[in-house]
Structure 1
């Protein structure tokens, strides 16, 4: 529809209409046309178009595009498509992304363009107020008013009745077409499993059965009126956001105490923790997937382990697919935790690149916290805290120790719902440890002033245990705090001093409670030094 408006044929020559000429300034386009025609004097529009037709009727489109880019002093960003309408379609997509669709006509054009970009078919109803987007597995109905306002959006998967999708409605009403396009992409990805239409539908049924089992597990041992933070940190499958329309199911499984404090200090704010998206993906090997929910009456078996029905031929089948937990950002994980997850699921996590774990944690933290251009190979960082001298942390990455290796994990494959609680616990354990190490990392790797500094060295021992070395506040001997993250909810700490050095008035239990309360090494070290200052003041009194 939009293409028909933007292309006009005159005497056999196809050219851009004024709506397309908005891409460049009028003066630029006049200069280009003059270059094409070779005209040195002013001519009428009809004569100019006739000269253009005669001179360039046998020139290929690629040469025209190159000349246009040259005249606009704009280099080609990508190879010109060999398809005859490729450059025109690309140009139209750029224009539509820039323009703010307000009228019914422009909204329909935008929806048609999004359909084509995601490989979907688009059809406009005879009334012109309904747009249908469809594949052979699902379809979407978008109902609009005459002024272009969205009334509702309905989604129907193969064999299901259409249902209204509030998330799609909100995106379109806010003209957030990028988010709407992402949902279309997610919907299409649900059916990327190998096989014919029937096999793809089976993959969707397996995902739907998994989602029902995960939701049922989220209700196990759940206390009434439990808040979101408690669910995130202690729930069997974390805090669950079920799939709605095209938005996949999300599991939020860890949130740091600092984020919790931020939420408490700002009522109504929604602080986000670490999340995973649950979906299904195609694979080259067969996996036995359930096509119906397996959890038995939402009851747990022995040792609070959920009881599941066996994978019989009536309830399951072999598919070239598996379920995956996908992360928005890859998580640095120790080799031991990766192996534990693989033993639990029985499926190898492919595409991993081994590297020192602490190097991966530092790299990921810097990429998240800092602006672009900062080197991710730093080991020395300066951390500022209120009412405390600045801390300088040197992170020993333990590059030479094989048992300190790890990898960045972007997704975890599995084939049975019983694996989900175990995976969540391992992820919580790893992310809790990572948050402690990342608390020592900052964007400041150069000391900008000459103020007093306290020096610390973080030395890894095992996959989730490390020590923090520092000078005794009242002596010249080294002191050390050993921290072992046993689980996401259990941390053991030990303070080691020279036998002849005075106490720091910080028991192991005090340090462990401080770590669990904040999950921040600098905050814990500040507490230790404050207690030491009180001991020193009392001794001098």
Structure 2
């Protein structure tokens, strides 16, 4: 095969860096030639190389705009730097224009490879890369000079040490799954310290459905409720720690929490910032909980909160905006399809949910200034998350449709603070029943069934255990329907001629009959409710 000039050039410089190749090409282009016509293949090759590298540099430069970072190239043009006052990012490039590595150097620390950021750039997921950079930049997102930012970052490091100490304190295991127990019952949930340039994070609540999804389809389940621990700018100054608040060796109170040193004995700095629990996703929160949070931290949120009925906030977060707009404001109707083709209908009365007790706001971040605030704030967020999970379990994208036969028709209404009712009627009964659900705290959900001609002292406890286990109103209502059917006396036996006459006059079996005959054992229902 006849060799070309380009193949010879490639073979000769295959092992050399692009910088030397560029220098050679430039020297060749600058030489005086007797032939005034330029070498077009070399010109096209140089143009393509410059375009490829410029695309990489342009993309990284665009990413810096929303994250308020600077950017520049290395002298050898083999790396791109994204810089801030107290940290920088180094993107190392391969000779072909690909990404070799991404390193993060935080204030006072050596650069460390960040596999997550590197993978996002390699996959050209620039939007996700920008979100990660925004989380990193939020560690220093405060006004002031470099000295002020260094002090705030140092305070954040001391906070991390205290939270890590609290997280590692011994405690009694409640759930059989260690990870789930840490999330739901740990003093500060599942705490992950800052690493690879990622902020501290706390996973503080997870639904049973998320646990099952992760069990059967690893990687596809939701992470549940997570709070990133960052700093936020404040128009007023706050006293932030410059050393640990926890006594050495640690001492404990009656609840097993560490005893904190008095503020007068701890080195602090007055700084224009506070710590933030940045909630992902944001949490619809009742006004009463918001007031309790303000009392715990003594920090008033600087952003004005838009107050709406809690149910509307949960619906907006659960469904797409288009779906929400298509639903009626005064009354929301949803239907659920459960296993065995069982259909439930759930109706929310719009006017009743507008009462002051059940109004709230969508909370994106919770400010605080002391490590002792975190466990108390997380308990409130868990309590609210349980309420939200129960109500959200009744909400679907499917509106009630005429012509369908429902095994259960339910109306969900607010009652007192932290309690609501589910009024329902069974398909084969004309009487109404009411299930009263009270969420006492994040670990106690009490149920009471009000129904005529039904006396079973153990039923309320059974329903409470099922609901606590599955955190789903539809699954619990199915368990109630089956338990009620098992407690009813059997239908009277007719004489044979009457039975034969009835059989002749019945053209078909009712659609729900097959479902009614498939009752589970009550104990197996509770175990399998999730």
TM-score tier, shorter chain, comes to: 0.7 to 0.9
What does 1:138-537 correspond to in 2, within 5 Å?
138-221=87-170, 227-266=178-217, 270-297=221-248, 299-303=250-254, 304-312=256-264, 315-349=267-301, 350-367=303-320, 371=323, 374-375=326-327, 377=329, 378-387=331-340, 389-397=342-350, 398-399=352-353, 401-447=355-401, 449-471=403-425, 475-498=429-452, 501-503=453-455, 507-536=459-488
- Residues 126 and 364 (structure 1), Cα distance of their counterparts in 2 relative to 1, 3 Å cut: closer
Describe the superposition over 1:297-344 as per-residue Cα deviations: whole angstroms up to 9, x where unpaired.
583511212222333586211111111112233311112211111111
- Residues 136 and 452 (structure 1), Cα distance of their counterparts in 2 relative to 1, 3 Å cut: closer
Report the Cα offset of residue 400 of structure 1.
5.4
Report the Cα offset of residue 279 of structure 1.
0.8
Indicate the SS of the match to 2:259. Answer: strand
Report the Cα offset of residue 212 of structure 1.
2.3
- Residues 271 and 364 (structure 1), Cα distance of their counterparts in 2 relative to 1, 3 Å cut: closer
Output the CA distance in 2 between the equivalents of 1:250 and 1:162.
21
- Whether the 8 Å CA contact 2:139–2:199 is kept in 1: the answer is no
Output the CA distance in 2 between the equivalents of 1:269 and 1:102.
38
- Whether the 8 Å CA contact 2:205–2:225 is kept in 1: the answer is yes
Indicate the SS of the match to 1:394. Answer: strand
- Residues 166 and 242 (structure 1), Cα distance of their counterparts in 2 relative to 1, 3 Å cut: farther
Output the CA distance in 2 between the equivalents of 1:102 and 1:429.
55
Output the CA distance in 1 between the equivalents of 2:229 and 2:282.
15
Paired residue for 1:62?
none
- Whether the 8 Å CA contact 1:168–1:245 is kept in 2: the answer is no
Paired residue for 1:134?
83
Paired residue for 2:521?
none
Output the CA distance in 2 between the equivalents of 1:298 and 1:268.
40
Paired residue for 2:19?
none
Report the Cα offset of residue 363 of structure 1.
3.3
Paired residue for 2:31?
none
Report the Cα offset of residue 540 of structure 1.
3.9
Describe the superposition over 1:359-411 as per-residue Cα deviations: whole angstroms up to 9, x where unpaired.
3333333348x757533735221122123642111223524533232222121
Output the CA distance in 1 between the equivalents of 2:328 and 2:201.
30
Report the Cα offset of residue 214 of structure 1.
1.8
Report the Cα offset of residue 280 of structure 1.
0.5
Report the Cα offset of residue 113 of structure 1.
3.8
Output the CA distance in 1 between the equivalents of 2:230 and 2:346.
40
Indicate the SS of the match to 1:190. Answer: helix
Paired residue for 2:514?
none
- Residues 270 and 292 (structure 1), Cα distance of their counterparts in 2 relative to 1, 3 Å cut: farther
- Whether the 8 Å CA contact 1:133–1:139 is kept in 2: the answer is yes
What does 1:87-102 correspond to in 2, within 5 Å?
none
TM-score (norm 1): 0.74
Indicate the SS of the match to 1:295. Answer: coil
Report the Cα offset of residue 235 of structure 1.
1.3
Output the CA distance in 2 between the equivalents of 1:471 and 1:165.
57
Describe the superposition over 1:23-62 as per-residue Cα deviations: whole angstroms up to 9, x where unpaired.
xxxxxxxxxxxxxxxxxxxxxxxxxxxxxxxxxxxxxxxx
- Residues 268 and 106 (structure 1), Cα distance of their counterparts in 2 relative to 1, 3 Å cut: closer
- Residues 535 and 270 (structure 1), Cα distance of their counterparts in 2 relative to 1, 3 Å cut: closer
TM-score (norm 2): 0.75
Output the CA distance in 2 between the equivalents of 1:130 and 1:506.
69
- Larger mean CA deviation between 175-184 and 334-343 belongs to 175-184
Structure 1 spans left out of the alignment, 5+ residues = 1-98
- Whether the 8 Å CA contact 1:440–1:522 is kept in 2: the answer is yes
What does 1:111-130 correspond to in 2, within 5 Å?
111-115=60-64, 118-130=67-79
- Whether the 8 Å CA contact 1:116–1:122 is kept in 2: the answer is no
Describe the superposition over 1:478-500 as per-residue Cα deviations: whole angstroms up to 9, x where unpaired.
211111111222111111123xx
Indicate the SS of the match to 2:441. Answer: coil
Pairs aligned (count): 440
